[in-house]
Amino acid sequence: MDPFSQLILTISVTSFFTFQWLFHKVSPWMSVRISPSFLSLSDKQKVEWNSRTVSTFHALLVGIFCLYILFFDDAVNEDPVWGDPTLVKTNVAITTGYLISDLLLIFFYWKAIGDKFFVVHHLAALYAYYYVLGEGMLPYFANFRLLAEFSTPCVNQRWFFEVLGYPKSSRPNMANGVAMAVVFFMVRIAVMPVYYIRMYVVYGTEAFYLVPWGGRVAWIGSSICLDIMNIMWMHKIARGCYKVLRSARQSKACAPQENGKTD
């Protein structure tokens, strides 16, 4: 094993143990101090709370690194299939450690956070990441996909508000809902043309045919499936956001009338 591969393996292993530590130690300690209501949650809710806290940290860390690569890694941007994958491998190694850590927690706390969809999602992602970490191919597209992580904090925050008893019409919940819809659209929907234009430009080139069939399936097949789901999720998020905003406006409109009747 060459020194760089050893480094990537070390990063993945370190990432795994770091996210385990964050789940078991850091999140409970920090959550009690930020939100004392954490202590009143059930054991299952505490497990999911800690899982989502770690998920948010991972999303922000990897997302920021992803943006840096997208804007400043010229090698990857110039050759999206075989460009120097050093930084992308580092970012994907962090995510790999997180996914394996999360899979372990899902299986261990299945009654609290078990979800077949997440198991399939994590395994599919790990399969795709093999071609990045093991073969060094498709760095641009692997990194681009990690942009989607920016929508995770808002999704997790919605759950935090819900479990803490915030009404859907409360200002924090509404602000988070709008932010979630906007960010989800920006990092999962609006970027689709950019992603598929780059894919179209590469398709049929010599670099494309150097990618083995397994790599093409992991790249093209998973991209199409993920984006179909993203469009479906965006539709649900937009409808939910619209309903909450409409009900809030109706409540405000009715408030003066109700006050007038009681005077």
Evaluate whether 118 touches 106 at the Cβ level (below 8 Å). Answer: yes
Low-confidence ranges of the chain (pLDDT < 50): 260-263
For residue 70, is it within any domain? yes
Give the pLDDT confidence of 59-91 residue by residue, as tens digits.
999 999 999 999 999 999 999 999 999 999 999
Number of domains in the chain: 1
For residue 262, is it within any domain? no
CA distance 107 to 84: 36
pTM of the model: 0.89
Q: Which domain holds residue 22?
A: 3-252
For residue 261, is it within any domain? no
Contacts with 93 (C-beta within 8 Å, 6 or more apart), sequence order: 8, 9, 11, 12, 15, 133
Q: What pLDDT does 3 receive?
A: 64
For residue 48, is it within any domain? yes
For residue 190, is it within any domain? yes
Q: What pLDDT does 209 receive?
A: 94
For residue 192, is it within any domain? yes
